[in-house]
A and B are shown apart, each in its own frame.
Chain A
Amino acid sequence: MSNTVIVLVVLALVLGIGIVLYNRLVAGRNAVQNAFRQIDVQLKRRLDLIPNLVESVKGYMKFEQETLEKVIQARNAALKAGSTEEVFAANAALGQATKGLFGLMESYPELKAQGNVAQLMEELASTENRIAFARQHYNDMVNAQNDRIQQFPGNLLAGPFGFRQEVYWELDEAEKAIAAAPPKVSL
């Protein structure tokens, strides 16, 4: 009799721990997906801001039409990008182009002093930070979820219930080149 009770209690305990672990894995997977959407939101924000900035500086930067053209082209490419890989690549190129524009604007102090332009540059600078932080947060969430999947006892549940290792957001080649030699931008 008492043996049955002990067995039942142990079973209930194991089941309870299993439920908690499973729910944590689900919550972790959702957090990773949510963090990934957050990157999308910030990339979209950059796409929306760029035409305004280019419009505002076009008049002043007559001799830099080529750079402006590059930024617009990169933006349009990012808009059209379909698959995830294309989105990554196009946005990396766009990031590079906007940084080039920022660098050029350094040599136009009267431009930076303009209220409208200063405001747009602040917004764009903030957006670049947000994209970086959104990626960092995504990677943090991936790190936490992968810990849950690999560590005992989560690893016992992860396999049977189909929780896969999440993939880190890594820099592509173009971004690595920038990271190695960042352009000087001081706002």
Chain B
Amino acid sequence: MSESAAEKPFISPWSPLGRRRDRAFADQAEAARQAAARGADKKTLDFELKSTDFRAAAARNVRKTAWLIVLLAVIAVVLGYVAGLCLEILTGAHPALNDPNVPPTDLLFSGWGGTAAVAMAIAFVVALVWAQRSADATVLKLHGAVEADPQKDAVLHNVVEEVAIAAGLPKPAVYVVESEALNAFATGFKPERAAVSVTRGLLDRLNREELQGVVAHEMAHIGNRDVRLAVTVAMIVGLIAILSSLLRNSVRVGSVSGTGIRISSSRSSSRGGKGGASGLALVILVVGIIIIILAPIFALLVRMAISREREYLADATAAGLTRNPKGLASALAKIADNPRVEKAPAALEHVWIESPVRAYGEKSTALFSTHPPTAARIERLLDLR
């Protein structure tokens, strides 16, 4: 096992060879599974480290998250403006529709749109601030996790305590999910009230070094406040989705009754010379509706991208805590083999170390997935920079 792992050529996750890399990784996971089935392999898989600058890696991930959040804010504000603009044209309230002295291009400038954009910006900031002060979410009960016994699961308790010391955080509550699958998750809005949960299968099949890596990954989520960020981002994306669906309905009602179009066409026929304005109004409405339809999809894409970026960040932070990227890399390889937890709700997919609902062998490179492909995560862990 270890020799074959060392002989695998290094393939950049961004190269066209990415797909072949996935296959190479699948071979390795298959070998690990067979070895584990024989009860032989509790050894850490032997990986070759390329670079270990976890600080640079973490800083890059933080930067990327910041840009993604800015992108989300831009989507929210643009949606607000387009919504205001469309409504102002549809209701016939736009000055450029009624006043022949205003040039038709002024249709693009909308007082309603401006107001709505500012409102969205304020809602965005309020959501961010609210999340800073909000109370703890009770995610634990949903997974059927029970508190780990300090005697029976002494090793787990010890490992959590060790990693908490490395992170300089209070020791979180420790839970075990009675499942054969290999997975783990962290909950809690702040480090003082956080919990780490691992499955029984994970405890049985990973060695201490790998367990330490997994716990460090979860501790990284706690220290980086990732649960809070995920909830905030989900809230904002939800807001965008609700607004978009409200607008779609009102625009449909508007076009069915023909208010907007009748108003603009009546202007053009009665006064002449405003044909440009009504034509432009139609174009704006069509483009606006497309933007309104696409906004929630883009927002969801950004949300998933943030989720994946936070996974990479937690991996880099974990490497910094244990100073042992190989432990986590080896654990990820073994987890990828069997991450499916029965009863795990898909809505909470993002809190786990590896998606508990993704089917085995399913392509995880999709833009809509909460977790990056395991092969890419391992690749980056071994080459932190």
Contact = CB atoms under 8 A, between A and B. Distances in A.
B155 A133 contact: no
Nearest to A118: B154
Interface in A113-135: 119, 122-123, 126, 129-130, 133-134
B154 A119 contact: yes
B155 A122 contact: yes
Interface stretch (B14-22, B98-106, B162-170): B162-170
Going nearest first, the 5 A-B pairs with the smallest beta carbon separation are: A126-B158, A133-B166, A129-B162, A133-B165, A137-B168
Contact of A141 (B155, B165, B168): B168
Nearest to A134: B165
A130 B155 contact: no
A136 interface: yes
Range for the number of chain B residues in contact with chain A: 10 to 19
A126 B161 CA distance: 9
Nearest to A187: B208
B208 A35 contact: no
B343 interface: no
A35 to B, nearest CB: 6
A133 B208 contact: no
B162 A126 contact: yes
A35 B158 CA distance: 19
Interface string A133-146: 11011001100000
A50 B158 CA distance: 17
B170 to A, nearest CB: 12
A186 to B, nearest CB: 10
B208 A130 contact: no
A35 B168 contact: yes
Interface in B36-93: none
A133 B165 CA distance: 6
Given A141-B168, A187-B208, A133 B154 contact: no
A155 interface: no
B323 interface: yes
A67 interface: no
B56 to A, nearest CB: 14
B321 to A, nearest CB: 8
A31 interface: yes
A165 interface: no
A35 B165 CA distance: 9
Interface of B is mostly: helix
A56 interface: no
B371 to A, nearest CB: 27
B158 A123 contact: yes
Contacts of B168: 31, 35, 38, 137, 140-141
A145 to B, nearest CB: 13
Given A38-B168, A123-B158, 14 more contacts: A38-B165, A42-B165, A122-B155, A122-B158, A126-B161, A126-B162, A129-B162, A130-B161, A130-B165, A134-B165, A136-B166, A137-B167, A141-B168, A187-B208
Contacts of A122: 154-155, 158
A62 B99 CA distance: 105
Contacts of A119: 154
Interface string A26-39: 00000100010010
Contacts of B155: 122
Nearest to B163: A133
Contacts of B162: 126, 129-130, 133
A140 B163 CA distance: 14
A82 B369 CA distance: 57
Interface in B305-354: 321, 323
Nearest to B162: A129
Contacts of A134: 165
Interface in A43-60: none
A31 B208 CA distance: 29
A119 B155 CA distance: 9
Contacts of B208: 187
Interface string B139-178: 0000000000000001100110111011110000000000
A119 B158 CA distance: 11
Contacts of A137: 165-168
Contacts of A42: 165
27 contacts: A35-B168, A38-B165, A38-B168, A42-B165, A119-B154, A122-B154, A122-B155, A122-B158, A126-B158, A126-B159, A126-B161, A126-B162, A129-B158, A129-B162, A130-B161, A130-B165, A133-B162, A133-B163, A133-B165, A133-B321, A136-B166, A136-B323, A137-B165, A137-B166, A137-B168, A141-B168, A187-B208
Contacts of B163: 133
A81 to B, nearest CB: 22
Contacts of A187: 208
A130 B157 CA distance: 12
A38 B161 CA distance: 12
Contacts of B161: 126, 130
Contacts of B154: 119, 122-123
A140 B322 CA distance: 12
A134 B162 CA distance: 8
A42 B164 CA distance: 13
A28 B155 CA distance: 32
